[in-house]
Structure 1
Amino acid sequence: MDKSPTTGAGREYRGAMATVDITQADFGQTLEDHEIVFIDFWAGWCRPCQAFAPVYSAVSEQHPDIVFGKVDTEAEQELAAAAAITSIPTLMAFRDQVLVYSQPGAVDAGTLAGLVDAVKGLDMDAVRAEIAEGGAAE
């Protein structure tokens, strides 16, 4: 399985763009093809989303080994509903296809960078064991 952020879901992820648009059609494949995926659920009319976008983009440029996706909740209403999005922006992080973080609200660059480091440093065997025992992975 290719874990590089440049392939997967039938398209190139790294090029001129630091972040990529994720749709319902490629959401599952994106998670399957990449070890770590961050997803920002947003909408164009949302001022906190607009303020968070450059922070998210800047941090994504510092981590080319991770996919930083964006889901437009207006265009992808079914995906947003399936993800139980009730407030935007909402940031989710997946590692090995496991949701390890989900929180509404914008964060600053330092907090987001710390979150990236935390997700990279997770002991996924311990996370899976915790999930198997009925605990939360977040």
Structure 2
Amino acid sequence: MREFTELTTIQMVDDFLNNHELKFIYISRQDCTVCHALKPKIQQLLEQYPFIHLGHVDAEIVEEVAGRFLVFTVPSLLFIKGEKELIRENRFVRIGKLKEQLDNLIHTL
């Protein structure tokens, strides 16, 4: 299973964003049961897209991430190409819908 790069400072988040063209950011909190249940499903889905770089941010550790990405609930999933956010899913994520969105976008990139 692919692992997320743990981003534990806002500088690490910025570096991750600047150093990769296609990136998927998973924002969670330690006390979020939905976050913990969803993360392995997202990891399994993203196995199909090895060219997308994966980053995980704990919003309790990197509090600035909420303001930076306008995150009001977790988990928040962001798929970003360059500097443009292409997909945003929050809280209750349907894996099938997310896969369909990723497939459609990948074919247009």
TM-score by length of structure 2 reads 0.83
Instruction: Provide, for residues 69-125 of structure 1, a one-character-per-residue CA deviation record: whole Å limited to 9, x for no partner.
Output: 1110110101222211111111111112211222312324322222222332346xx
Output the aligned Cα RMSD.
1.9
Structure 2 residues without counterparts, runs of 5 or longer? none
What amino acid does structure 2 have at the position aligned with 1:20? T
Q: Which has the higher strand share?
A: 2
Whether 1:102 aligns to 2:85 is: no
**Partner Cα distance (2:12, 2:108) in 1:** 25
Between structure 1 and structure 2, the one with the greater Rg is 1
Instruction: Provide, for residues 11-62 of structure 1, a one-character-per-residue CA deviation record: whole Å limited to 9, x for no partner.
Output: xxxxx75221124112222222222111111012111111111111111222
What amino acid does structure 2 have at the position aligned with 1:65? F
Whether 1:79 aligns to 2:72 is: no
- Number of the residue aligned with 1:112: 98
**Partner Cα distance (1:51, 1:61) in 2:** 17
TM-score by length of structure 1 reads 0.68
Equivalent pairs: percent with the same residue? 24
Measured at CA, do residues 121 and 96 of structure 1 come closer, stay the same or move farther in structure 2, by a change above 3 Å? Answer: farther
Structure 1 residues without counterparts, runs of 5 or longer? 1-15, 124-138
Equivalenced residues, count = 108
